[in-house]
Structure 1
Amino acid sequence: MWKSKTPGIPDEEFERTESVPITKEEIRAIQISKGRLSAGQTVLDIGCGSGSVTVEAAIQVEESGKVIGVDIDPNAIELTKKNLEKFGISNYTLVEGNAKEKISELPQADTIFIGGTGGDTKDIVELCQDKVQSGGRIVIGVILIETLYSVLQTIEKLNFESIDITQITIGKSRKTKTGTMMLARNPVTVISATKK
């Protein structure tokens, strides 16, 4: 269905519901690029929500790789499954449950994406340290300043290097009766790092 390899599938291509969040296409494109994915890799998507990152990551790692999406919300798992099927993705596993309880059961990964984890992001980062392979990447998307602060403190204490912080503010166009206006979206901060 999706012919392009470039990250940033338009949001309207995904199945959506109001109750399940989606990582917006521009943010997702940057997050995927920070993950530095390649064919054959294993990727974890913790807090997969609508599955937009799961889908994009699966395209990048190709059929020789695999992506595992985790979410506590059964509606998110169902929506992620619909989106994976819509885009013809077969190299995935979905895990429903609390990430803090499920991470220990997951395999080692080359890249871990963390987002949509409620107030548990710091704890999830700590748990993921043992799941990301040496030289692997961790990519965390945050909205709240408090979460940013706690995640940065945590990641600096753990076995990570090349820590990068990128704040993204997007304005999207919308047609009006008299022309085109730009609407600002909430800023998102993306923290990425490499495991030593």
Structure 2
Amino acid sequence: MLWNFKTPGIPDHLFERLPGIPLSKREVRLLMISALQMEENSVIWDIGAGTGTIPIEIGLLCPNSKIIAVERDEEVANLIRRNCARFEVKNVDVYQGNAPDCLNELAGLPPDRICLEGGRPIKDIMKSVWQYLKPQGKIVATAANLETLYLISEGLAELQTRNIEVVQASVNRLETRGIHQVFAAVDPIFILSGEKL
């Protein structure tokens, strides 16, 4: 097994990647997973799952939970399946579909937690997934730019989300460049979370 530890934080290089497909960096994943506040038997939807890092981390931490990874592109959906196989994660179902249009097909398994990683139109997707989120459920969304931050913030306010938290993660990693070691910044990201009444 590639990751034998009981803690999250799988190194980025252990995941199979495709050019141009985003990967949530390890430090950001730690903050996102913390914000989700999962329970042992949660149902989690990850909308815009990309490389599959969040579903895999959650799948390993909470083997009795059910994770639905939604991705619109067939090649990317297959990438998530391959990464799940690499880490021997069995409780992730990969669903190929375009949110928000595909969400009614998932209605039979309403989520306790929703992770929203990008996607357009972000505000429409947020409002659509909110309808399926169970009471006392949590939503966690990421924004890599101010425009997306504004849209998510506005969406959370319109949905009357309670206990909203916003964290701006700024991470620097030690890298070797030539003969020097320098700290290189990982692109900053905003992590927003809130609860449904």
Cross-structure match for 2:123: 122
Cross-structure match for 1:181: 182
**Counterpart mapping for 1:111-190 below 5 A:** 111-117=113-119, 119-190=120-191
* Superposed displacement of residue 172, structure 1: 1.1
Identity of aligned residues (%): 29
TM-score (normalised: structure 1): 0.95
Name the CA distance, whole Å, in 2 between partners of 1:167 and 1:5: 26
| Deviations 1:88-130, CA, capped at 9 Å, x for gaps | 111121111201111122121111000131x311111100111
| Deviations 1:9-65, CA, capped at 9 Å, x for gaps | 110111112131111111011101100112111100000000001101112221x21
* Superposed displacement of residue 82, structure 1: 0.6
Cross-structure match for 2:26: 25
Name the CA distance, whole Å, in 1 between partners of 2:6 and 2:46: 19
Instruction: Kindly indicate whether the alpha-carbon contact (under 8 Å) linking 1:37 and 1:60 is maintained by their aligned counterparts in 2.
Output: no
Amino acid at match of 1:53: I
Name the CA distance, whole Å, in 2 between partners of 1:75 and 1:172: 30
Instruction: Kindly indicate whether the alpha-carbon contact (under 8 Å) linking 1:20 and 1:75 is maintained by their aligned counterparts in 2.
Output: no
Name the CA distance, whole Å, in 1 between partners of 2:61 and 2:15: 17
Instruction: Kindly indicate whether the alpha-carbon contact (under 8 Å) linking 1:41 and 1:66 is maintained by their aligned counterparts in 2.
Output: yes
Cross-structure match for 1:109: 111
Name the CA distance, whole Å, in 1 between partners of 2:132 and 2:74: 24
Instruction: Kindly indicate whether the alpha-carbon contact (under 8 Å) linking 1:38 and 1:60 is maintained by their aligned counterparts in 2.
Output: no
- The answer to whether the aligner puts 1:42 opposite 2:43 as a matched pair is yes
Amino acid at match of 2:195: T
* Superposed displacement of residue 159, structure 1: 3.9
Cross-structure match for 2:75: 75
Name the CA distance, whole Å, in 1 between partners of 2:74 and 2:166: 31
Cross-structure match for 1:13: 14
RMSD: 1.2
Secondary structure of 1:100's counterpart equals coil
Name the CA distance, whole Å, in 2 between partners of 1:103 and 1:169: 32
Name the CA distance, whole Å, in 2 between partners of 1:56 and 1:87: 9
Name the CA distance, whole Å, in 2 between partners of 1:74 and 1:23: 19
Secondary structure of 2:18's counterpart equals coil
TM-score (normalised: structure 2): 0.94
The aligned length equals: 194
Name the CA distance, whole Å, in 2 between partners of 1:76 and 1:140: 20
Worse overlay, 168-177 or 26-35: 168-177
The runs of 4+ residues in structure 1 deviating greater than 4 Å are: none
Q: Which runs of no fewer than 5 residues in structure 2 stay unpaired? A: none
Name the CA distance, whole Å, in 2 between partners of 1:60 and 1:36: 12
